[in-house]
Amino acid sequence: MAAWTNFIPLVLVIAGSLSLLWTNKWRYNIAAIALQYLAVFWFVSQVWPIGLAAIKLVAGWMAGAVLAASVTASGSPELDPPAISARIFRAAGGVFVLILAFSVAPATMDWIPVHSAAMISSLVLIGMGLLQLSMTKDSLRVTLGLLMTLSGFEIIYAAAVTSVLLAGLLALVTIGVSLTGAYWLSLTAAEDPV
């Protein structure tokens, strides 16, 4: 595969993670996480067989479907758009994570044998996921932050180990996180009087 094609999923990861930080609309957030899992599949398919890498794509899209079904079933309303100062703060945090990922990636590639676009993408996902976790208490956004962090870890770990058992275990963790998030969404919807 040509080297420039590795930067297509990198752009997907950056656009999706910044979109998750910027907007509160749950439909856009689910679409962004679906794009991120497509990028994870792209990177993992370069080091794993396609059938094994497809587990990442299917598990990620199933997690998104579970969360989307839970949001619609709970009838939770759209969150109010954040204030412009909150958006600027989130964007500044996102830019800081991007700068950090691009500057740390060359040093980490000495330790972990991953090509540059995959390493940058995984560091962006881990950083943006942790940033997402630190800036919200909303159940959906916390769950999406956990999924982002986990998918960034999966890109790095796929380069180190090729295992069917590990792929199944990480898919189980991904779906488990989304089911837990769906449960949290149903609890918060039951607590909020409409």
Once rounded to an integer, what is the mean pLDDT over residues 126-131?
Answer: 95
194 in any annotated domain = no
162 in any annotated domain = yes
The length of the chain in residues reads: 194
- For residue 72, the model assigns a pLDDT of 83
- For residue 190, the model assigns a pLDDT of 66
Contact 188, 139 (CB under 8 A): yes
22 in any annotated domain = yes
Q: How confident is the model at residue 76 (pLDDT cuts 50, 70, 90)?
A: low
- For residue 22, the model assigns a pLDDT of 85
Q: How confident is the model at residue 85 (pLDDT cuts 50, 70, 90)?
A: confident
Sign of the dihedral defined by the CA atoms of residues 145, 53, 172, 115, in that order: negative
The parent domain of residue 150 ranges over 3-189
**15-19, 57-61, 76-80, 121-125: the lowest-pLDDT one:** 76-80
* Calpha distance 95→180 (Å, rounded): 30
The total number of structural domains that make up the chain? 1
- For residue 2, the model assigns a pLDDT of 55
95 in any annotated domain = yes
152 in any annotated domain = yes
Q: How confident is the model at residue 115 (pLDDT cuts 50, 70, 90)?
A: confident
| pLDDT tens per residue across span 141-180 | 899 999 999 999 999 998 888 888 888 999 999 999 999 9
- For residue 92, the model assigns a pLDDT of 92
- Residue 95 burial class via C-beta count within 10 angstroms: exposed 0-12, middle 13-18, buried 19 and up: exposed
Report helix angle 26-44 to 50-74, nearest 10: 170
| pLDDT tens per residue across span 4-61 | 777 889 999 999 999 988 888 888 999 999 999 999 999 999 989 999 999 999 999 9
